[in-house]
Amino acid sequence: MSNGESNGTGLVKSPQNLVGGLALLIFAGICYWAVADLRGMKGSSFGPGTVPRLYVAILAIFSLLLTLSAFTTHGPKLERMPWRAPFFIMAAVTFFGLTIRGFDLGIVKVPGLGLAISGFVTVMLAGAAMEDFRLGEGLLFALAITTFCVLLFSVALGQPIPVYPPFLR
């Protein structure tokens, strides 16, 4: 066994496979719940929920196999997870989703910031996930990629994506 592997003296021979498999099973359950309202197959025609359910089933099967392999195959022990990258990537995706058009829940109102502002901040947040992130390079890249996205989606493709917040139009 190499240095990073579990010694396998207990019931679980690969703790990393166990935790990863269970996490993927939970994710498959959440995905199944998310597509539960979509129609499935009707006769020989596909409904909008057919392919998502198929993918969820495949994910669940492979997750179950990964979980079961933790008891039969020696594998890596559970190591400390680096939280910086997942945190900033999730923050970037969440920020973009909440602010591109904005929303109003009654007690909470988030204004739509448009692609120019939401895109720029999203790229900066995602860039902060890197260990060697440098502010100057991040600002230049965010400006370049945001400009490209505005030109591509709004100008070239004519998509109805708000570019600026309503108070700047």
Cα–Cα distance measured from residue 57 to residue 55, given in angstroms and rounded to the nearest whole number:
5
pLDDT digits (tens, 9 = 90+) for 114-138: 999 999 999 999 999 999 999 999 9
**Token pair for residue 157?**
């493709």
Angle between helices 84-99 and 114-127 in degrees, nearest 10 = 170
Cβ contact 69:18 at 8 Å:
no
Region 44-50: what's the mean pLDDT? 76
> What are the residues whose beta carbons fall under 8 Å from the beta carbon of 53, sequence distance 6 or more?
32, 35, 38, 40
pLDDT category at 8 given cuts 50, 70, 90 is: low
Enter the DSSP assignment of 12.
Answer: -
pLDDT category at 7 given cuts 50, 70, 90 is: low
Q: What is the pLDDT of residue 101?
A: 86
Mean residue pLDDT of the chain comes to 88
Task: Judge whether residue 95 has pLDDT over 70.
Answer: yes
pLDDT digits (tens, 9 = 90+) for 69-88: 999 998 888 888 888 999 99
The total of other beta-carbon atoms located within 10 Å of residue 101's CB is 15
Q: CA torsion sign, 10 to 14 to 20 to 26?
A: negative
What one-character-per-residue DSSP string does 101-169 give? Answer: SEEE-SS-EEE--HHHHHHHHHHHHHHTTSTT--HHHHHHHHHHHHHHHIIIIIIIS------S-GGG-
Domain ranges of the chain: 15-72, 84-168
Task: Judge whether residue 3 has pLDDT over 80.
Answer: no
Nearest alpha carbon to residue 126 among 91, 81, 151, 94: 91
